[in-house]
Amino acid sequence: MKQAVISGTGLYTPPYAISNQELVTCFNAYARQFNADHAAAIEAGTLAAIEESSAEFIEKVSGIKSRFVMEKAGILDPQRMVSQIPERDDDTISLQAEMAVAAATQALARAGRSAADVDMVLVACSNLQRPYPAMAIEVQQALGIDGYGFDMNVACSSATFAIQTAAAAVQSGQARAVLVLNPEITSGHLNWRDRDSHFIFGDACTALVIEERGAATSAHQFEILGTKLKTSFSNNIRNNFGFLNRFDESGNGAPDKLFHQLGRKVFRDVCPMAAEMIKQGIGAAGLEVAQVSRYWLHQANLNMNLLITRMVLGRDAVDLEAPVILDTYANTSSAGSIIAFHQHQDDLPSGAHGVICSFGAGYSIGCVVLRKL
């Protein structure tokens, strides 16, 4: 069987950043107005007042200091609190495809490849802009790739599940090279009026080139030694938005049509599952934990990552063993672990081992074991 490598990575960062303080200023203005407008019901005990937030609270519970978004003025308007981006006509490239093309261009350049070398495009992310035509096929056309493409969604684990799919296509000879793209516009599914979650997400897009080791010429190659995937159904992270919503108009605009979670239950359930998957993945690749130099983890919550690495290593991670990017990017869903990989890989020596691990709604967990060539 052919060996597959990651030969290039790319990252598109949106043009606008929102600090915790900016977010809090808007949220607290909304909370004060809500409480004033509903003072009578709050006084009567039939409606709960909205508690104000603080930048310190956000950083303490998540490790997040800021996030990037595709548009910020609408988010920071207490009367709106959602991005305001005009809808594009069908003949203009889609917003999500535009992000993907930018990240893909970087990844192809780093891999020393062109569109002519790619046979397959995978767009894998938590939220797709539309049901069809597939975003991947639009990206394929925009880049001039003669092959095939399709979309997939495994929430925050979409990138690692897509790496497995791409590697299998390369190993079987189905594709010479595959583009894996993770365009996450998480600002679209976030409830900016929910104190417990309004700070969690940010927008970004990552890209990977996966190809046969024997044909790769890049100076940045990581051999895929093994992948391990797991899903286990849970309602603790959920988003009920979908085309069937129109069957029952009474639910339109309800909070459950956006991201919502039972955070403490997610923390309790996912951390041991992710740690065990990492250890199993390392063992299946014929390695010991002590042989792994780096863990590029899903960037959802700093406290989760600290606990997961502690459970894997038996101690706290040191230096760049588990690099953190969520302080500036926040949770970018499937893109998070790949941003960490993109930004913290070049310092590793040849022969070093690393693990990309993602975890999220589903539940879904993906683990990819790599060796730098």
Query: What is the C-alpha to C-alpha distance for residues 309 and 313, in angstroms, rounded to an integer?
Result: 6
Strands (E), the chain: 4-12, 16-19, 66-69, 120-124, 148-152, 177-184, 204-212, 222-231, 237-238, 260-261, 292-297, 353-360, 364-372
Do residues 277 and 367 lie in contact, with contact meaning Cβ atoms separated by under 8 Å?
yes
Give CA–CA dist 167/175, Å, rounded: 9
Which of the residues 26, 125, 156, 357 is marked catalytic? 156
SS3 call for 56 = helix
Q: Is 331 helix (H, G, I), strand (E, B) or coil?
A: strand
Question: CA–CA separation, 328 vs 337, rounded Å?
Answer: 14
> Residue 3 carries which side chain, given as an amino acid letter?
Q
Does the annotation mark 156 as catalytic?
A: yes
Residues 71 and 34: their CA atoms lie apart, in Å, by 24
Residue 33 neighbours by CB under 8 Å, 6+ apart? 78
Please calculate the CA angle 81-205-116 and round it to the nearest 5 degrees: 145
DSSP string for residues in 151-200 = EE-BTBTHHHHHHHHHHHHHHHTS-SEEEEEEEE-GGGT--TT-TTTTTS
* Pairing outcome for strands 177-184 and 204-212: antiparallel
The catalytic residue positions are 156
